[in-house]
Amino acid sequence: MLVLRGYVDLPPHTATDFDHGDVYRPTGRVFIAHTAEGTVEVIGGERSEYDTTIPGCREGSGVLCAQQDKLVFAAARGAGLVLVIDAESNEVKRLLSVGPRPNGLAWDPDNKHLLVADVQENMTLLVDLSGEAVGRVLATPHLPGRPRWCVFDAARQRFLVNIREPAAVVVLDAEIGHIVAQWPVSFAGPHGLDIDPEGGRAFVACDAGQVVALDLATGEELWNVPIAGSPDATWYNAKRTHLYVAIGNPGMLDVINTSTTTVIQRVPTEQGAGTTAYDEQRQGLYIFLPQTCRVAVYDEV
């Protein structure tokens, strides 16, 4: 069960609108895309307090931590760039030109490939970050519709990308970036996405107010669970077999037990709080609250 530990206040801003965040597990630091301000906010994990603000991320959207590589990727949707940030020093090491409007991100640590989902051209870009080829775009396959979030399936060396319409999950080869499958989803608007590598399942949170589980081997739908509204960020806690689904309207977080396929907890958050970050190592969940410009910190107990 999630229990509130407290809140972290962020610096006051003229506008507040958060997007995806992620946790760098070695230190527990949380990196948050602050879309309205064009920044990445950083809070300290162990102390759970504000750390710093990284500027230059116009219309910040996707944020992803590459754990083994000590990097943070942040999509600047308004600038056609991805910032490559040192996860320990906060230094912006490189700007990757991946325009026009990058959003979703996924990382393949084996091949050092970054998948970038573009929401204007409805395509993905497979970017090579290995050796002397850093920043080279290897493939730009067009998608059947607007992409939402994406993840890397290490066991099968594939990327999965949610497509809003037609409702589907597109599967791409991690090495060359080509589309190898398209799995239909029976509910409208696939948005949040995470996977259960051990159990071989993908969890797709849909705008229609449903979470669908797909078989990672075949794409077959295994089950679906109704949730409180239209979802956004979705995280799977393998230790507890819990799925955390953030719902901006009416301001709720649903916790689904993926073994019993039931909603076991419904946490009131704040209107517009549709995005979160999950700390697997410390069993913590961070919920970004745009109305009060702060972060709610929960522990799984």
User: What is the rounded average pLDDT of the residues 93-100?
Assistant: 94
What are the φ/ψ torsions at residue 154 (nearest 5 degrees)?
-65, -40
Q: Is the pLDDT of residue 3 over 90?
A: yes
Asked if residue 62 has pLDDT above 80, the reply is yes
Q: Give the C-alpha distances (Å, rounded to integers) separating 166 from 29, 190, 242, 246.
A: 36, 9, 28, 23
Q: Is 137 exposed, middle or buried (0-12, 13-18, 19+ CB in 10 A)?
A: middle
Averaged pLDDT of the chain: 96
pTM above threshold 0.85:
yes
Least confident of 7-21, 149-163, 212-226: 7-21
Over the stretch 258-285, which tens digit does the pLDDT of each residue have?
999 999 999 999 999 999 999 999 999 9
CB 59 within 8 A of CB 78: yes
* pLDDT 10s digits, 182-208: 999 999 999 999 999 999 999 999 999
Domains contained in the chain, CATH given? 2-300 (2.130.10.10)
> Residue 145: is its pLDDT beyond 80?
yes
* Beta carbons within 8 Å of 108's beta carbon, 6+ residues apart: 114, 115, 152, 154, 157, 159, 174
Tens-place pLDDT, residues 116-142: 999 999 999 999 999 777 899 999 999
Query: How far is it, in rounded angstroms, from Cα 115 to Cα 186?
Result: 25
User: Region 228-255: what's the mean pLDDT?
Assistant: 97
> Pick the residue with more confidence: 139 or 14?
139
